[in-house]
Structure 1
Amino acid sequence: MASTVTPLFPAAIFCCSTNSPSGTSTFSSSSNPIPTRRLKAEHTDAGHLRANTTKRTDGFSAENMRRFEKIRDNGAPATRPFSLEDPENRRSVKDYLEQTKDLVRSVDGGPPRWFSPLDCAAFSRLNDSPLLLFLPGIDGVGLGLIMHYKKLGEIFDVWCLHIPVKDRTPFSELVKLVEKTVRSEHHRSPNRPIYLVGETIGACLALSVAALNPDIDLVLILANPGTSFRQSQLQLLIPLLEVAPESFQLSLPYMLSLVSGDSLRMVEAIFQQGLPLPMTIGELSSDLVAMSSYLPVLADILPTKTLLWKLQMLKSASAFSNSRLHAVKAETLIISSGRDVLLPSQKEATRLHQLLPNCMIRNFEDTGHFIFLEDDVDLVTIIKSTSFYRRSRHPDYVFDYIPPTPSEFKKIMESNQWIYVATSPVMLSTLDTGKIVRGLAGIPSEGPVLFVGYHMLLGIDLAPLVAQLLIERNILLRGIAHPMMFMNLQKGTLREFSSFDTYRIMGAVPVSGKNIYKLFSSKSHVLLYPGGMREALHRKGEEYKLFWPEQSEFVRMAARFGAKIIPFGVVGEDDIGEVFFDYEDQIKIPYLRDQIEELTNQVVKLRNDTNGEVANQPVHLPGILPKLPGRFYYYFGKPIETEGRKHELRDREKSHELYLQVKSEVERCIAYLKEKREKDRYRNILPRLVYQATNGFTSEVPTFEI
């Protein structure tokens, strides 16, 4: 499964208030109110969606600065550590069915209409939040994002399309409805992107609207798009339903398959393989009773004639959108399920990726057709991890950034837990007095702070470093990253780098002087590896060797904002693995040489603003021979002050002297750790395991005397 939250290990490379339209009414029955707000059913009122943008001045709006100050304050060291508790309390499939029952039975007919979920409107969002229009799938209810309302409502202005069960609006008219809304909102806020999130039929709607409006800034998020209808088994149902009597109802397994992949797998296990082993009779009975109570709801959503109409619409929608794919220029993210029994979604995602010019894929192997109703799928996390969130025409990796939630960070920690177990990291810092202490007490609380250090092989030092700063000091470290982590590879080159998703969630930004400037101006804690890819992908026998460029630009930038510079070293890569198949070996193999050259050329084009040896390093993945795990050691030197030295360090010679001082300090930190670790009797994993078995596996393992 290509999970959204992935380990930090693989090839980490860092381098140098909603207003409802006038005249609307509550969209509910008086006896059982639905948590939604309604737009009038008339299509002309679609333009009343809230659109409120803030003008920018020289790239920094007042709203941007206030927003980032809030992020900075939340990420700055506080009196308590970062909490791993999950306060989200997401809704469930049961909530979807409960609200669907009320919604379907309270709205008998009428044309399609928009509504805004109160779950979204209740949360405080930014004044310039982008608009998100949800286009439902075959159910047409519009509640498909119910499990995501809380997080979506914090960063989007969310509106959902509801298509009543008895409505027979053809697909072409639905396209016009959505297009009219999009054009109206674009006219009101031309600099604000509009997100179209669609599943199945809704995905076809989104593609069609994007094809007809290439001049509007649209971002498409397509879940299991219905463009693959001709390759699905669903088309076989059309002739069956055409002759079926009114009383005909679908079987229990099929009805449940429309709800969630987990329900489908439960039913398959019951009807095909007997009871699942982990499930007791009591659990099975309660599940079946709970689900069976909602069968009338499912029948209300898709009665026989409505299902026939929806399948016929899906057929026309697929043809309509496929004929216009060549005109789609919008930024597109395709989310596909590996266990979609209704459509060949993963094959279709690959096909669309080849046809759409600006397209990215995220595959989820263990999910069913209605992926947004799966417990393990978080739409906001997917958007954040793919860098698809922006509030203006151009992405701003600094001011558009949304810090990780406790649940996101917890998943990242769990996926990297093996690094902590295998390496038991030791972290040392230096107080203002020059005293070395274990822990991170010597790290300055107030930014801006620039961490400058050695980049360990494959960046495997990153997970403990970033996580420990957040846990122990509540400091969110923003890494200056190689642009390859943000690039959309050319078609047919390599698969999408979903392994980089974690870095984007944790705040990495592409290397550029503009981004560093913004980070310092927002008083962030910034991580920079001047040696970049050359250090992280070093050759055999080059461990702990610095490959820094001649330029000292980061010194002058730090001095401009009075940032403290913290040189640091890290050792331990030689205790867990050894390079045996490096770049020199790989270029001797024609196939690998061609792959390296092609990917390197793409990266060089992306970095056309950077020159020099470090900027043009070949991109490859060295072969590593694992060892019995040793231990990681981090040493943060005494902070170097640049406050008040802005004019002094404008002089190139003076700034270069400080640059060499920082480099020398990093080398000193590495030398100190290499010497001291020889006296650590817990350097090997076996003594550490014995110690933890005796003293508790959560106990801190001792190390050398400081």
Structure 2
Amino acid sequence: MAATSGASPFLAGSIKLASAAAANSRGNRYVSFSRRMAVSTDHNISSTTSFTENGRWLPEEEKRKKQNRRKEESELISNVYGNPDEITEENGKKLKDFFEECKDLIKSSDGGGGGDGDGGGGPPRWFSPLECGSRTPDSPLLLFLPGIDGTGLGLIKHHYKLGKMFDMWCLHIPVKDRTSFTDLVKLVETTVRSECKRSPGRPIYLIGESLGGCIALEVAARNPDIDLVLILANPATSFNKSQLQSLIPFLELMPDQLFLNLPNMLNSVSGDPLRMAWENVVKGLLPLQNVGVLSEDILGMPSYLSVLADMLPRETLLWKLQLLKSASASANSHLHAVKAQALILCSSKDQLLPSQEEAQRLRRILPKVAIRFFKDSGHFLFLEDRSDLVMSIKGASFYRRGRYLDYVSDYIPPTPYEFKKLYDSNRWIFNATSPVMLSTLEDGKMVRGLAGIPSEGPVLFVGYHMLLGFELAPLVLQFLMERNILLRGIAHPMMFVKLREGRMLDLDTFDHYRLMGAVPVSGPNFFKLLSSKSHVLLYPGGVREALHRKGEEYKLFWPEQSEFVRMASRFGAKIVPFGVVGEDDVTELVFDYNDQMSIPSLRKFNKEVTDEVVQLRTDANGEVSNQDLHLPGVVPKLPGRFYYYFGKPIETAGRKQELKDREKSHELYLHVKSEVERCMAYLKEKREEDPYRNIVSRLLYRATHGSKAEVPTFEL
């Protein structure tokens, strides 16, 4: 959204902010501002369109095929994921925007921009950023509780994306305001209770940074019966262990004149030792992550130093540090009463607070906690270019619109820029394996690419699970790039929840799968995906197939009885069997489950890991019931190539009654299984004819034809 002209690009029109204490009606809770309307274009071809060719009407079947081709062409034209290299950064603001808008906000609230004229004092108040006006009607409420700066602009880089998911309000604490921690908590609590009464079925999100994290925890402790979701960025509950405490006596003794001249002195410092000394003094003053950024972004922009001085004059800074001290003590004394789920965002290089240790401590105390670490980030995480709050929320499965998370209806597909980040992190897989994807058209013809994949859902893809799921990233990403189709994978619950903390991988290992739409395996989730006409990815072999033993590559470990046919027929879903090969050309399995179980210490370790996750197929028989978790030992090979073959879609529409019969259902189940095996047998045979199966030959081809050239494969 573009801001209108006025005293501030952030607060357009009237600058007068609604008092948080008096915000009892929706009309006075927002800054008054105007919006530009966004218009979207629907590229879909109308289903009533008639087609003619050379003046004659086409036969019905030909018309349908032509319509499908045009629709597919339209999808390709409108596919925002089509070329990741051309995707640009999203409409987010930068650090300089933070300072510019802080300057205007401070000016407006001290009487210089049409505000209250209260000299920077007055009560704290809520405002809604201009660029957060694109939310949906069922968006949950998000309250941002700021850190030591108090401006409420700490999420400025994330407003645009957050505004599509939340009804977002930010708390502004004026520079000269001296509201106590207790009264700040009461202020936020009043708003929370009022909005809970207004929309009792929706959660309320409290995003707290530093000081705001303490406020969020205190509000949650005082309101255990309200559905709150806490997102805490480097919460100041560890203030008593931080170096910030030492600033309090220093500021009490520092003369006003020296403090007022601090910006100019910093700008004129030239000697490295002296510069570092001054920078260490102001680390606690500035909303920046490290000394390097301080030197580069602030000392290079003298005008912003005055903004910092206006934002945190000595008396205000001293008050804020004392406020942090009381906030930390109060929040810590009430942690035992917090029942809300919490996502802790922790910077590993926080120079102001021991945030990494504090996150682990809070994990042990709070009942429902998830942690995401940012190894290269400093204290003011949200102002860093590398942080993406929305991706963190979505990746941790922390976005919901109702009391309980619905993995299907609450899911929000990745934005183009989120997809680009996912693609870039997996680009090496594409470069190393140059995936070949083959599909089958309705007439049975095999083609290279995914043209044979049905555009309309529901579609159920059933196939073979490579060792450790090597095939997943190229598969899911290529579907989006080539056909604008999102594959919703049905995944093991270990990717979503742990029964207890222990030796199992942290859940953030699986964030990318959740971002791409994976859901925990369950009957209700399967039902919802098919009923919403999704493209669903299912591996009947599950963990046993993905963690197979030596010599078991390309062997299916499917249950004896069908698990998906009748559900698919209930919704008339097309079933697409597929096979993948190439794992034996990429790695060699050298240390499998059987090897590990012969070593007592590893046997104990694997049992402990298995006991930490939800167990599946406990009532099954045979090898498919062996769901023990372990990490296979593999040795990488000079990369070969991945091959995917999607067979002809199998129709279940109109067969609902027929497939209720167990024998008929099982017959179709066995047919799908045999098709998967046939696809793999074909690929194993044909890859022997591929002149570019070896990575060396592929690199030579791209060296002469361009780095983005599609490498040929065997003749179809």
2:68 corresponds to 1:82: no
Determine the C-alpha separation between the residues in 2 that align with 1:89 and 1:639: 40
Q: Structure 1-normalised TM-score?
A: 0.87
Q: Residues 76, 232 of structure 1: CA spacing in aligned structure 2 closer, same or farther, 3 A cutoff? A: farther
2:196 corresponds to 1:169: no
Determine the C-alpha separation between the residues in 2 that align with 1:658 and 1:701: 36
User: Equivalent residue for 1:109?
Assistant: 121
Determine the C-alpha separation between the residues in 2 that align with 1:529 and 1:48: 48
Alignment of 1:2-151 (within 5 A): 31-32=7-8, 34-35=10-11, 40-41=18-19, 43-46=21-24, 48=26, 77-83=75-81, 84=84, 85-86=87-88, 88-107=90-109, 108-121=120-133, 123=134, 125-151=135-161
Q: Secondary structure at the match of 2:79?
A: coil
User: Equivalent residue for 2:342?
Assistant: 332
Q: Secondary structure at the match of 1:363?
A: strand
Aligned-partner residue type, residue 35 of structure 1? L
1:467 Cα deviation after fit: 1.1
User: Equivalent residue for 1:374?
Assistant: 384
Determine the C-alpha separation between the residues in 2 that align with 1:532 and 1:651: 25
1:471 Cα deviation after fit: 0.6
Q: Secondary structure at the match of 2:635?
A: strand
Determine the C-alpha separation between the residues in 2 that align with 1:31 and 1:473: 46
Structure 1 spans left out of the alignment, 5+ residues: 1-16, 18-25, 52-72, 271-283
Determine the C-alpha separation between the residues in 2 that align with 1:495 and 1:657: 39
Please list the CA deviations of residues 153-181 of structure 1 after superposition, one character each: whole Å capped at 9, or x if unmatched: 00100001111111111101111111111
The answer to whether the Cα contact below 8 Å between 2:18 and 2:28 also exists between their aligned partners in 1 is no
1:446 to 456, 460, 464: 456
User: Equivalent residue for 2:466?
Assistant: 456
The answer to whether the Cα contact below 8 Å between 1:111 and 1:167 also exists between their aligned partners in 2 is yes
Determine the C-alpha separation between the residues in 2 that align with 1:231 and 1:331: 25
1:245 Cα deviation after fit: 2.1
Aligned-partner residue type, residue 265 of structure 1? G
Aligned-partner residue type, residue 23 of structure 2? D
Q: Secondary structure at the match of 2:614?
A: helix
Q: Secondary structure at the match of 2:455?
A: coil
Determine the C-alpha separation between the residues in 2 that align with 1:76 and 1:182: 45
Determine the C-alpha separation between the residues in 2 that align with 1:459 and 1:50: 53
More displaced 10-residue stretch of structure 1: 39-48 or 230-239: 39-48
2:327 corresponds to 1:317: yes
User: Equivalent residue for 2:569?
Assistant: 559
1:641 Cα deviation after fit: 0.6
Determine the C-alpha separation between the residues in 2 that align with 1:46 and 1:94: 34
Q: Secondary structure at the match of 1:247?
A: helix
User: Equivalent residue for 2:292?
Assistant: 265
User: Equivalent residue for 1:241?
Assistant: 251
Determine the C-alpha separation between the residues in 2 that align with 1:232 and 1:513: 49
Q: Secondary structure at the match of 2:613?
A: helix
The answer to whether the Cα contact below 8 Å between 2:227 and 2:403 also exists between their aligned partners in 1 is yes
Aligned-partner residue type, residue 166 of structure 1? K
Determine the C-alpha separation between the residues in 1 that align with 2:416 and 2:214: 35
Please list the CA deviations of residues 354-389 of structure 1 after superposition, one character each: whole Å capped at 9, or x if unmatched: 111110111111111110001111111110000000
User: Equivalent residue for 2:403?
Assistant: 393
Q: Residues 406, 30 of structure 1: CA spacing in aligned structure 2 closer, same or farther, 3 A cutoff? A: closer
Task: Work out the number of aligned pairs and report it.
Answer: 640
Ranges of 4+ aligned residues in structure 1 off by more than 6 Å: 73-76
Aligned-partner residue type, residue 317 of structure 2? L
Q: Secondary structure at the match of 1:144?
A: coil
Determine the C-alpha separation between the residues in 2 that align with 1:119 and 1:610: 53
1:649 Cα deviation after fit: 0.3
Q: Secondary structure at the match of 1:195?
A: strand
Q: Secondary structure at the match of 1:677?
A: helix
The answer to whether the Cα contact below 8 Å between 2:8 and 2:101 also exists between their aligned partners in 1 is no
More displaced 10-residue stretch of structure 1: 32-41 or 315-324: 32-41
1:301 Cα deviation after fit: 0.9
Q: Residues 75, 329 of structure 1: CA spacing in aligned structure 2 closer, same or farther, 3 A cutoff? A: farther
Please list the CA deviations of residues 222-253 of structure 1 after superposition, one character each: whole Å capped at 9, or x if unmatched: 00110011110000111111222222325743
1:669 Cα deviation after fit: 0.4
The answer to whether the Cα contact below 8 Å between 2:439 and 2:450 also exists between their aligned partners in 1 is yes
Q: Secondary structure at the match of 2:564?
A: helix
The answer to whether the Cα contact below 8 Å between 1:35 and 1:117 also exists between their aligned partners in 2 is yes
Determine the C-alpha separation between the residues in 1 that align with 2:453 and 2:600: 48
The answer to whether the Cα contact below 8 Å between 1:568 and 1:637 also exists between their aligned partners in 2 is yes
Please list the CA deviations of residues 492-515 of structure 1 after superposition, one character each: whole Å capped at 9, or x if unmatched: 444523221111111111111111
Determine the C-alpha separation between the residues in 2 that align with 1:379 and 1:502: 14
Determine the C-alpha separation between the residues in 1 that align with 2:73 and 2:552: 36
Alignment of 1:534-553 (within 5 A): 534-553=544-563
Q: Residues 572, 30 of structure 1: CA spacing in aligned structure 2 closer, same or farther, 3 A cutoff? A: closer
1:29 Cα deviation after fit: 12
Q: Secondary structure at the match of 2:237?
A: helix
Determine the C-alpha separation between the residues in 2 that align with 1:41 and 1:81: 44
The answer to whether the Cα contact below 8 Å between 2:559 and 2:620 also exists between their aligned partners in 1 is no
Determine the C-alpha separation between the residues in 2 that align with 1:298 and 1:116: 23
Please list the CA deviations of residues 549-587 of structure 1 after superposition, one character each: whole Å capped at 9, or x if unmatched: 123131111111111100000000000111111112222
1:663 to 673, 680, 689: 673
What is the aligned-residue RMSD (CA, Å)? 2.5
Determine the C-alpha separation between the residues in 1 that align with 2:532 and 2:8: 47
Which of the two has higher C-alpha Rg?
2
1:262 Cα deviation after fit: 5.8
1:687 Cα deviation after fit: 1.1
Please list the CA deviations of residues 195-245 of structure 1 after superposition, one character each: whole Å capped at 9, or x if unmatched: 000011100001111111111111000001100111100001111112222
Q: Structure 2-normalised TM-score?
A: 0.85
Aligned-partner residue type, residue 90 of structure 1? G
1:440 Cα deviation after fit: 0.8
Please list the CA deviations of residues 296-354 of structure 1 after superposition, one character each: whole Å capped at 9, or x if unmatched: 11011111111111011100100101111111111110001122111111111111111
The answer to whether the Cα contact below 8 Å between 2:498 and 2:614 also exists between their aligned partners in 1 is no
Higher relative contact order (CA closer than 8 Å, sequence separation 6+): 1
1:38 Cα deviation after fit: 6.5
Determine the C-alpha separation between the residues in 1 that align with 2:697 and 2:609: 43
Q: Residues 535, 608 of structure 1: CA spacing in aligned structure 2 closer, same or farther, 3 A cutoff? A: closer
Determine the C-alpha separation between the residues in 2 that align with 1:158 and 1:241: 35
